[in-house]
Structure 1
Amino acid sequence: MDRQSSHPTLQTIAVVGLGTMGTGIAEVLARSGREVIGIDISEAAAHRAAAALASATARSVTRELLTEQERADVLARFRTFTDLGAAAEADLVIEVVPESYEIKQQVFRELDAIVRPDTILATGTNALSVTRMAAESLRPERVLGLHFFNPAPAMKLVEIVSCVLTAPPAVEAVTQLARELGKEPVPVGDRPGFVADGLLFGYLNQAAAMYEARYASREDIDAAMRLGCGLPMGPLALLDLIGVDTARTVLEAMYASSGDRLHAPAPILGQLAEAGLTGQKSGRGFYTYETAGSPVIVRDLQTPLDGSLIGAGRPVASVGVAGSGTMASGIAQVFAQAGYSVVLAARSQEKAEAAKAAIGKSLGRAVSKGRLTEEGAAQTLERITPAGSLDAFAEVDLAVEAVAEDLAVKQELFASLDKVCKPGAVLATTTSSLPVIAIARVTSRPEDVIGMHFFNPAPAMKLVEVVRTVLTSDDVHATVREICVKVRKHPVDCGDRAGFIVNALLFPYLNNAIKMVEQHYADIDQIDAAMKLGGGYPMGPFELLDVVGLDVSLAIEKVLHAEFRDPGLAPSPLLEHLVAAGCLGRKTGRGFREYAARR
């Protein structure tokens, strides 16, 4: 028999605080067959919670997920009160009141005098110390954290937070409850942000700082992370959803604990919060919304003007792609599918022919999946001319470099392009981390050089980071943006600094995940589960690190650390040790996890 089965199921549960999160938790509990006591000092909030449950269950009936009788039973199990005394009969009390020690401690003090000695008290905090709350309770052994994610009915993750004072039976009882609710419980220790928010809020903070520095527009930052990383929301839109004031509170708590400057709230968060611009709930934050509480974004003074006003670009009919690897082949395929004549140049004719053959296989897979006709695939392949020398680029209008991520290699190639390419040709590098200006300066025409960072696999990924240096001309910038649209990619503008948008936000997050493991706070499986289930990430950080390659990840983190000189960006020693040991991820069969050898 499982050890957890010896504990009684928590049947009567009180939820204190009927805001969005409290209402969602109450819905989950009522649908599971529990008796739910909803408590809020605001009678209006209690009515809204009951109305929300009625509306949600009505939708379930319409979708044939519930019968009318089942709906009636769910609604009957949810009772609302404005007096904390209603929690007297509860087996478990979950408080979801505002993120304030004073308010939460007041609730816990009152509950001490109301509930039974065996009642478990859970705080829904994601930033405040569970230990501190437990220490001030009359029975600290029954106090723990129970952190649901918004929206609670949909999100699978629940972080079960215990401290040195928490009794194991209490942890086991709520863990069993979480599983019975269809959630994935992840046990964590008591530190601000726990696992998911501990990683998420550092990333959100850096995005806010990036926007505050006017490095990129809010739309481009959000689009870059959605399209480049597959995230459900961009970081600034997510900050508006969470609440700018809430994010600031969480980050203040994290910074007080870690002392890491990456957790020090970006000043713009304080400025917005003090102005009452707290996001969706106030109708304005980083974006402007239709009304307070509405998720619908409306145009404001910061909304970009029509892209046609950016200026006219240069005509481009033919494209040269330098390189023979996966990225070069993918980029060549993208241009050829869009109708451009493409010269694919490699170090030898044989390598160029092999790269074209790889494109043929890729197009064949697209045909087999119904994404492309056989005629379309054949026409695409016909537009690609393999060449064993850059001399074949003499007449191209755009030359795109996709060779090794090594500054000396790229500089040598651009020096050659400068000699070979005709005047007026646009020269683009696909670097993901190197300074574009250092590449441009080896040519006699740095005004024609720009960054055009595609993401892998290029045929599938929609994002292109357009990296303009201080010397790039306006018409070159306009040319690349026009071309991105023509090849059905989404261009985002960013300046020439390490990591651009995506890598500058992604890799510190990955580095912080490794640090959590180093500090024995959580293991890789718990962290991956937390970010997929709690953050909506398509892959956990350790899955992603092993796919990207630990050597590639380390190189990017070193570049970021060297550029920004922030101690918090220093690569994790564990990552350095794994790379030194040759454990580079999937490509070597071992990284943070072990993989079956490729046959």
Structure 2
Amino acid sequence: MAFEMVAVVGLGTMGAGIAEVFARAGLRVIGVEADADALATGRGHVERSTQRAVDRGRLSGGERDAILGRITLTTSREDLREADLVVEAIPEVLDYKRSLFADLDRICKPETVLATNTSSLPVTAIAAATGRQGRVIGMHFFNPAPVMGLVEVVSTVLTDPALVPEISELARRLGKTPVAVGDRAGFVVNRLLLPYLNQAAVLLEQGLARRDDIDAAMRLGVGLPMGPFALLDLIGLDTAYEVMGVLFDETRDRRHAPAPLLRELVSARLLGRKSGRGFHGDEPRPREPDRSTVITFEMAGEGADELTERLRTAGFKPSADPDVILRPADRPVIEHAVRLQDPARLVGVRVVGNRVAELAATVLTSQAAARAARDLMTVIGLTPVACRDRAGFVTDALLYPYLNDAVRMYDTGYASIGDIDAAMRLGCGYPAGPFETLESIGLAVVRDGLRALYAEYREPAYAPAPLLDQLVTAGVHVFPRA
């Protein structure tokens, strides 16, 4: 089918961005809003977005004028009679969407495709409000739509099979990468991203580490664009809460139940950037304690040589009677501490990404030793991340379950490895997809790390996915790709 005239219903930030994307690709666009004020706001979104592109040298003034000239704005849905495709971008309320689709089904010509931009609601339930369920599909853009390169193309069991490649080709015409998936809550990106963010809130609530330390660990150590709490504030805590609720309703997996801390913040209307405060706010940073006077250290255990040399180069001295004992360790640090004459001096250390040092204090570690370890890492150029002595510390406790979820998703046949990797790179801005990350770390390392997390937390989702376990047992180091 040739898509030449498209319509976008709902011109908030996302809908206006989608309208701009279509117009940039040369298509005629009809933008629809509920009233004149909302329409003016939508027009402002498009005008400001395209002007920013001109200011940054990405569009010429003439190109901007041509884009704006392709967009017609209206408050009447009746103007959509001749549209080839209608994309819905109204608020994420199922009843609203079903009502809109029933109206569009009445107005639009029979061959018109009706697409929803929902990020998590069931496309099947939206399609059921129409008499053209084979012509209804999900077309999930990411915010900001003119910039983000991914579109999730979501089909239901009733979607005409020929429609998926048609919409995928349209997405490519828009300069986007399409990922075709079925109608499961969260699709690919939100189904993998939101449980990770939710788990970060759970670990914060459990006191594993502080908010800023968790953010630093995932941003600097793992290389993600933002830490989980900064990202939650950007997304909106209410949006994250709603998506987690949809996931839990479908899976009944307790790990998909919104974290109590997330629920409390939403109830208090602390929603992130949109409200001025969420996990982050305008609160003053606590005053850093005075620098410790640590001079001597001891480094014990496998993998100690590199850190020892860095500390020596920085002027610190190894000693048999040190101020602090550092031990590179993945196992519970307390098991090593209790063997010492003075266990209060021991701090576990693990370097992540050559930029972060996770510092695990045991129940016996003194505050002086913990402070000394932090200062030593700072001097040698590592960002210290203080955490409790728990399996996986911070980074592995958040990263490995996410990788495990991706393996389970692939193993069910829901999406291909290439599509899952592309979705997370393009939809979240991750430096690598989950399978690329897993193979870089090592399948056996991740499998063993998941086993340790499962033994610690007894969370069923932490048990290694059967496919991962089987590949490691077979001595295979990469996932099979068609």
- Structure 2 match to 1:470: 363
- One-letter identity of the residue aligned with 1:556: G
Q: 1:171 aligns with which of 149, 164, 175?
A: 164
- Structure 2 match to 1:77: 70
Q: Does 1:579 align with 2:472?
A: yes
Q: 1:507 Cα deviation (Å)?
A: 0.6
CA deviation digits over 1:9-44, x for unaligned, max 9? Answer: x12111111122112111211111111211222533
My pick for the range that moved more, 77-86 or 114-123, is 77-86
- Structure 2 match to 1:331: 307
CA deviation digits over 1:51-99, x for unaligned, max 9? Answer: 2322232233334332222211111112222232232221111111111
Q: Does 1:278 align with 2:271?
A: yes
- One-letter identity of the residue aligned with 2:68: L
Q: 1:340 aligns with which of 315, 333, 341?
A: 315
| In structure 1, distance between residues paired with 2:71 and 2:91 | 22
Q: Does 1:237 align with 2:230?
A: yes
Q: 2:345 aligns with which of 445, 448, 467?
A: 448
CA deviation digits over 1:432-466, x for unaligned, max 9? Answer: x321111111111110001121124xxxx211112
| In structure 2, distance between residues paired with 1:158 and 1:14 | 17
Residues 241-320 of structure 1 aligned to structure 2 (within 5 Å)? 241-288=234-281, 299-300=282-283, 303-307=284-288, 309=289, 311-316=290-295, 320=299
- Structure 2 match to 1:384: none
Q: 1:245 Cα deviation (Å)?
A: 1.3
Q: Does 1:130 align with 2:123?
A: yes
| In structure 2, distance between residues paired with 1:531 and 1:576 | 23
| In structure 2, distance between residues paired with 1:429 and 1:34 | 61
Tell whether the 8 Å contact from 2:119 to 2:140 is kept in structure 1 after alignment.
Answer: yes
Q: 1:231 Cα deviation (Å)?
A: 0.7
Question: In structure 1, the residue corresponding to 2:158 is in which secondary structure?
Answer: coil
My pick for the range that moved more, 263-272 or 181-190, is 263-272
Tell whether the 8 Å contact from 2:311 to 2:376 is kept in structure 1 after alignment.
Answer: no
| In structure 1, distance between residues paired with 2:78 and 2:276 | 35
Q: Does 1:592 align with 2:479?
A: yes
- Structure 2 match to 1:430: 328
- One-letter identity of the residue aligned with 1:306: R
- Structure 2 match to 1:396: 318
| In structure 2, distance between residues paired with 1:68 and 1:131 | 42
Q: 1:14 to 1:469 in 2, by over 3 A?
A: same
Q: 1:317 Cα deviation (Å)?
A: 5.6
TM-score by length of 2: 0.95
- Structure 2 match to 1:489: 382
Q: 1:333 Cα deviation (Å)?
A: 5.3
| In structure 1, distance between residues paired with 2:187 and 2:308 | 44
For these two proteins, the number of residue pairs brought into alignment is 481
My pick for the range that moved more, 133-142 or 58-67, is 58-67
Q: 1:304 to 1:42 in 2, by over 3 A?
A: farther
- One-letter identity of the residue aligned with 1:225: M
Q: Does 1:158 align with 2:129?
A: no
Q: 1:554 aligns with which of 443, 447, 450?
A: 447
Q: 1:328 Cα deviation (Å)?
A: 4.5
| In structure 2, distance between residues paired with 1:105 and 1:531 | 29
| In structure 2, distance between residues paired with 1:252 and 1:571 | 25
Tell whether the 8 Å contact from 1:321 to 1:331 is kept in structure 2 after alignment.
Answer: no
Residues 186-265 of structure 1 aligned to structure 2 (within 5 Å)? 186-265=179-258
Q: 1:174 Cα deviation (Å)?
A: 1.3
- One-letter identity of the residue aligned with 2:363: V
Tell whether the 8 Å contact from 1:319 to 1:335 is kept in structure 2 after alignment.
Answer: no
| In structure 2, distance between residues paired with 1:99 and 1:328 | 52
- Structure 1 match to 2:423: 530
| In structure 1, distance between residues paired with 2:350 and 2:212 | 18
Supply the RMSD in Å over aligned alpha carbons: 1.9
Tell whether the 8 Å contact from 2:304 to 2:327 is kept in structure 1 after alignment.
Answer: no
Q: 1:335 to 1:79 in 2, by over 3 A?
A: farther
Larger radius of gyration, structure 1 or 2? 1
Q: 1:322 to 1:568 in 2, by over 3 A?
A: closer
Tell whether the 8 Å contact from 1:318 to 1:340 is kept in structure 2 after alignment.
Answer: no
| In structure 2, distance between residues paired with 1:150 and 1:593 | 32
Question: In structure 2, the residue corresponding to 1:429 is in which secondary structure?
Answer: strand
How high is the sequence identity, in percent, across the aligned residues? 45
- Structure 2 match to 1:543: 436
- Structure 2 match to 1:370: none
Q: 1:118 to 1:334 in 2, by over 3 A?
A: farther
Q: 2:27 aligns with which of 7, 11, 34?
A: 34
Tell whether the 8 Å contact from 1:158 to 1:184 is kept in structure 2 after alignment.
Answer: yes
Tell whether the 8 Å contact from 1:465 to 1:491 is kept in structure 2 after alignment.
Answer: yes
| In structure 2, distance between residues paired with 1:503 and 1:280 | 28
CA deviation digits over 1:157-183, x for unaligned, max 9? Answer: 111000111012322221111001111
Q: 1:101 aligns with which of 94, 101, 104?
A: 94
Tell whether the 8 Å contact from 1:243 to 1:280 is kept in structure 2 after alignment.
Answer: yes
- One-letter identity of the residue aligned with 1:203: Y
* Structure 2 gap ranges (5+): none
| In structure 1, distance between residues paired with 2:277 and 2:188 | 29
Tell whether the 8 Å contact from 1:12 to 1:34 is kept in structure 2 after alignment.
Answer: yes
- One-letter identity of the residue aligned with 1:396: P
- Structure 2 match to 1:352: none
| In structure 2, distance between residues paired with 1:200 and 1:427 | 37
Q: 1:147 Cα deviation (Å)?
A: 0.7
| In structure 2, distance between residues paired with 1:318 and 1:282 | 46
Tell whether the 8 Å contact from 1:313 to 1:477 is kept in structure 2 after alignment.
Answer: no
Tell whether the 8 Å contact from 1:261 to 1:568 is kept in structure 2 after alignment.
Answer: no
CA deviation digits over 1:409-441, x for unaligned, max 9? Answer: xxxxxxxxxxxx22x44111222x321111111
| In structure 2, distance between residues paired with 1:437 and 1:241 | 37
| In structure 1, distance between residues paired with 2:183 and 2:309 | 50
Tell whether the 8 Å contact from 2:195 to 2:256 is kept in structure 1 after alignment.
Answer: yes
TM-score by length of 1: 0.77
Tell whether the 8 Å contact from 2:325 to 2:346 is kept in structure 1 after alignment.
Answer: yes
| In structure 2, distance between residues paired with 1:42 and 1:239 | 31
